[in-house]
Each structure stands twice: as C-alpha cells, then as structure tokens.
Amino acid sequence: MPHLTTPPGAAPAATGAGRLGLGVPGYAHPLLAPAEWGELARPGTPVHWAVLNVTDGPGQRPDPHVAEAAHRLREAGSGAGGGSDRRLLGHLDLRDGERSVGELVSEAHRYLDWYRVGGFYLAGAPADRAGLPAVRRIVDALRSLGSLRALSDADADGLRIVLGHGTHPYAGYAETADQLVTFSGAWADYRWSQVAEWTAEYPPERFCHFVHGVPRTHLEEAMRIARWQGAGTIWFTDRSDRHGSADPWAGMPAYWDEIVSRIGQGVSE
C-alpha cells in the first residue's frame, strides 16, 4: 500500500510506539452541540487541542454560551483556578494568505480577551514556498501577542500555533508552527495517501491528520496509517461531507467512545 512505502535506506516516519491524541477541528456552536462540548471536558479524554470557532472567527461580541464551553474545557485541562490551557485554540482563517496581519491580530485579541484561548488554529494556510514569508509574519505577530499576555497571566508556555494546510506543505513551514495539519480529507483518499519524506526528520507531535468518512470497521487501519506516517494528533469521523455540501467536523463520530478507548486515557495535555 502507498502509505507503507518507505524510501530505500530511510527510517519510517513513525512507529507504533507513540500514543495518539485528538485534535478537534471545531464543533458546532455549544447550543447546537452541547453533548460534543461536554465530552471534550470529560476528565481523561485524550484531547491534544480543540478549535473554537464562533462565527468564522471570534464574532463581534462575547458569546456567553461559547465562553462557558471554553471555560469548562480550559478548567478540565488546567485545573480549577488554573491559567490558560493550550488545548483551546481560536480559529483564524488565513484564506490562503489573503488576509492582513492587522486583521488577524485584531481577531486574536478578541479570542484572548473573551475566551482565554491558549493558541490559534490557522485555517486556510498556504502550502507553497511563496506563501511562507507571509505566514511567518503572521505567526511572529501572534507569538508576540502571546508573549505580552504571558507577562500578565504568568503563562510561560506561550501560544500553541497549528497551521491548517490540509496537505503536505513546503518543508520550511515545519519551523514556523508547533504543528502542521498535513492531511484533511476523505478516507477513500487517506488510505492510499503517501507521506512526504521530509517529515521523517520531525517527531509525531508536529503533525496532525483530519479524516472523514472512516467506517468503524476501518478505524484500526486508519490509526495504523496515522502512526506509520508520523502523525501524533488525529481526528477521525464516520461523518461525510456529502460531496462538499456538509461540514463533516461539526459533530462527534458515532464511534466516539470506541476511538477514545482505543487511544487510551491519560494523554491529555
């Protein structure tokens, strides 16, 4: 199978020794998906991070329902009275590099002020070499914002930055963010996908895969592919995009309990 192909003399991108965790692309509004948000905050759930997206961004005013969901997830990760939790990421849409740094930083401010996020998921991140300088400027601006916030919050960890490419980007992006989403798509494509050779130089925690339409009977195979390709964070769901007319990430998979059990307890950050 293509995902098991390793160049002669090269080590595989990952082994089965590392433990996987969940990266949640972003559920529907807490009023529409209360059970989903509640499950994320359940103790022991192996969530590496979850994306908060109010209205294609933070919205124009604080939403009390979103704030409550964010508070529960943050407290589940940092404990009562704790500081910001790097598991909660604000959704910023780069639109393939078309948006300005100022516009994105303005949205980032609102996420930090209203929902105390611990980082950002940069959706629509460009993947080519030409787009790298602009992405670096955006990430540098966000990290500077995070450094200023850390002075008042006593949070020395800094912001978590995840780039949502959805495909293997130019290798230079790996030095820009904490994690890259190197696959986002359907199971039919994922099971025959190939990993970029340069990813073998980085540990699994630097990569994430989003896969929709994964049947329950192929869940173990999907996890095996993720481990082999060097992804430490995953989101697998049996939901479909209905040929582009639906958001497959808006709710939890029907086999939520099974996937949590397979990944195991105690790997939350």
The tens digit of pLDDT for each residue in 16-37 reads 335 799 999 998 899 999 999 9
Calculate the alpha carbon distances from 46 to 53, 103, 126, 265 in Å.
20, 33, 29, 6
Our CA dihedral for 28, 85, 68, 109, rounded to 10 degrees, sits at -80
Pairing of strands 117-123, 21-24: unpaired
Residue-level pLDDT at 118: 93
The position carrying tokens 């990760």 is: 77
- Look at residues 75, 23, 68, 31 and name the one whose alpha carbon lies nearest to residue 50: 23
Residue-level pLDDT at 2: 46
Burial class (CB in 10 A: 0-12, 13-18, 19+), 191: middle
**186 φ, ψ to 5°?**
-85, 155
Least confident of 50-59, 72-81, 192-201, 248-257: 72-81
Within 10 A of 120 (CB to CB), how many other CB atoms are there?
29
Calculate the alpha carbon distances from 23 to 27, 80, 162 in Å.
11, 23, 10
Residue-level pLDDT at 18: 53
Q: Say what percent of the chain tops pLDDT 70.
A: 85
pLDDT in tens, 97-144: 889 999 999 999 999 999 999 999 999 999 999 999 999 999 999 999
- Look at residues 235, 195, 232 and name the one whose alpha carbon lies nearest to residue 212: 235
94 vs 100: CA distance, rounded Å:
8
More confident residue, 251 or 182: 182
Average pLDDT for the chain: 86
For the cut 60, the answer to whether the pLDDT of residue 159 exceeds it is: yes
For the cut 50, the answer to whether the pLDDT of residue 14 exceeds it is: no
For the cut 80, the answer to whether the pLDDT of residue 222 exceeds it is: yes
The average pLDDT across 222-230 equals: 96
pLDDT in tens, 35-77: 999 999 888 889 999 999 998 899 999 999 999 999 999 888 6
- In the 3-class helix/strand/coil scheme, how is the chain assigned residue by residue? CHHHCCCCCCCCCCCCCCCCEEEECCCCCCCCCHHHHHHHCCCCCCEEEEEECCCCCCCCCCCHHHHHHHHHHHHHHHCCCCCCEEEEEEEEECCCCCCCHHHHHHHHHHHHHHHCEEEEEEECCCCCHHHHHHHHHHHHHHHHHHHHHHHHHCCCCCCEEEEECCCCCCHHHHHCCCEEEEEEEEHHHHCCCCCCHHHHHCCHHHEEEEEECCCHHHHHHHHHHHHHHCCCEEEEECCCCCCCCCCCCCCCCCCHHHHHHHHCCCCCC
The pLDDT-based confidence of 155 (bands split at 50, 70, 90) is: low
The average pLDDT across 198-218 equals: 97
122 vs 27: CA distance, rounded Å:
16
Residue-level pLDDT at 152: 52
